[in-house]
Chains A and B, each alone.
Chain A
Amino acid sequence: MIDKFSADFYQNFIEDDRWKYIVDGLGNTIKITFFAVLVGILLGFLVAVVRSTYEKTGKLKLLDLLCKVYLTVIRGTPVLIQLMIIYFVVFGSVRIDKVLVSVLAFGINSGAYVAEIFRSGIMSIDNGQFEAGRSLGFSYPQTMFYIIMPQAFKNVLPALGNEFIVLLKETSVAGYIAVQDLTKGADIIRSRTYSAFMPLMAAAVIYLVMVMIFTYFVQRLERRLRNSDH
């Protein structure tokens, strides 16, 4: 039993330096997720500001329409299709770094969800806060950034953390455009050794540990932000 386990372990990870597929893949997964989160926050923030400004003041009608189209299209189609469209259609005839393509695809996808999370946060803040800010002489953007946003951010943090956990796991489809991410790394080992257990379990455990570490930090941040509640 133990012998078979260690033999399997040797065949799947040690022989021919196969562990490198997992490590390289993990690096790419982290890279893709990290930059996609940044793109997602940036896009989501802009879209949320446009949308809530329109809802509160009726301004930016055209931009709001554009944002609505973006949300509908991105949330209405699978991320895998979006990824392949960006790789095989949008960048149809150029040699482009596939990690970059993945960052764009997952970032644009995540942005749509982050936008709605941010907007729900902004809308959750009582209008009295907004009116108080304006009556104290803050301009609209100032009220937004100094009064509404800090409170909204605290409210949406759990939902935001959730979105990034989903994003991290969603990057596992990047292998479709031959990016060697963590899942693809495990797949390559699987295609060499024909055993499913070891590589898939290794990938699963690594994803799990990453999510657990991330959750821990989100919880700490939440606690920090709650300090001001009293």
Chain B
Amino acid sequence: MKKQILALFMTAVMAGSLTACGSSAADATTAAATEAATTAAETTEAATTAADTAAQSKEETTAEESKAADSGAAGGVLVMATNAEFPPYEYHDGGEIVGIDVEVAGAIAEKLGMTLEIEDIAFDSIIPELQSGKADIGAAGMTVSEDRLKNVDFSDTYTTASQVIIVKEDSDITGPDDLAGKYIGVQLGTTGDIYASDYEAEGSTIERYNKGFEAVQAMLQGKIDAVVIDVEPAKVFVSQNEGIKILDEALTVEEYAIAVKKGNTELLEKINKALGELKESGELQAIIDKYISAE
């Protein structure tokens, strides 16, 4: 008897866990849950409760999913996924996440009459978060690229940035051409990583660190020759460390935009409209100037 109850409970739990796999699995789950419930009714009440709980939790998940899949922002809360290790676009400051992206997203949310909620996750998890509907927008100094456009839609650009090369002051690297055959440090998954990886074909070794500052630290310790990273964080790194400089010739120049789930044009249009208003009123420039000292 005991074994039967246990087996039923397991079936129910497993059925419940299936719901995470999307809509096609949900049908199978319903069937499994019903089956479990029927069998359970025949045997014990305890098992029925277990099956019920599973069925219930399944319904809740489905409800949540459909809500998120909706316009993505119907609840009055705009969830922004970011990776707050990328000054000055987003970083932790005294227990709070601040930065250009945070303020721009805040201003957009205000225009839309919504409250902004920030989710700080790994950079390479941002797009999966958008795809699964856990977040509405991704604002993390993201560059529009072909690969990313396959997976998400991008808003109009709100600022441009370039990938620059940081080297030690006495380095013999003077431009992108000198990177061939060198040890290049990057932050995993960033645009700098993608572009620097092209040099692998020319004999360079790309060292992919989890954080940008670790790459800079490794260069300061003489472990690598150069760091390829966005210009804004690069300026911060260079101002905080002595003996390193940014090369005048940038590796690439690119445009930053806000990412939304693919096909969510309703939200995208709203964001573009708000961005346009912010650009016109000069608010956008004010936010950028606040974090980046004009040269």
Write out the residue numbers on chain B whose beta carbons fall within 8 Å of the beta carbon of A190.
124, 189
Chain A interface, number of residues (Cβ within 8 angstroms): 21
Question: B221 near A88 (CB under 8 angstroms)?
Answer: yes
Within 8 A of B (CB), among A157-194: 175-176, 178, 180, 184, 187-188, 190-194
Write out the residue numbers on chain A whose beta carbons fall within 8 Å of the beta carbon of B159.
none
Give the interface residue-count category, chain B: 20 to 34
Question: A93 near B210 (CB under 8 angstroms)?
Answer: no
B208 at the binding interface (Cβ < 8 Å): yes
A98 to B223, CA, bound (A): 10
Q: Known: A194-B124, A194-B147. Is A93-B221 also a contact (CB below 8 A)? A: yes
Question: B194 near A194 (CB under 8 angstroms)?
Answer: no
B217 at the binding interface (Cβ < 8 Å): yes
Question: B207 near A178 (CB under 8 angstroms)?
Answer: yes
Question: A176 near B210 (CB under 8 angstroms)?
Answer: yes
A113 to B224, CA, bound (A): 34
Question: B221 near A194 (CB under 8 angstroms)?
Answer: no
Question: B222 near A178 (CB under 8 angstroms)?
Answer: no
Which among A93, A94, A178, A191 has the highest number of chain B CB atoms within 10 Å?
A: A178
Within 8 A of A (CB), among B220-266: 221-224
**10 cross-chain pairs, A with B, having the tightest CB-CB distances, nearest first:** A191-B189, A194-B127, A191-B124, A178-B207, A178-B209, A194-B151, A93-B221, A95-B223, A196-B128, A191-B188
The chain A residues found within 8 Å of chain B, CB to CB, are: 88, 92-96, 98, 175-176, 178, 180, 184, 187-188, 190-196
The chain B residues found within 8 Å of chain A, CB to CB, are: 123-125, 127-128, 131, 147-148, 151, 183, 185, 188-189, 193-194, 207-210, 214-215, 217-218, 221-224
**What are 21 pairs between A and B in contact, CB < 8 Å?**
A88-B217, A88-B221, A95-B222, A95-B224, A178-B209, A178-B210, A178-B214, A180-B208, A187-B188, A190-B124, A191-B123, A191-B188, A191-B189, A192-B189, A193-B147, A194-B124, A194-B127, A194-B147, A194-B148, A194-B151, A195-B128
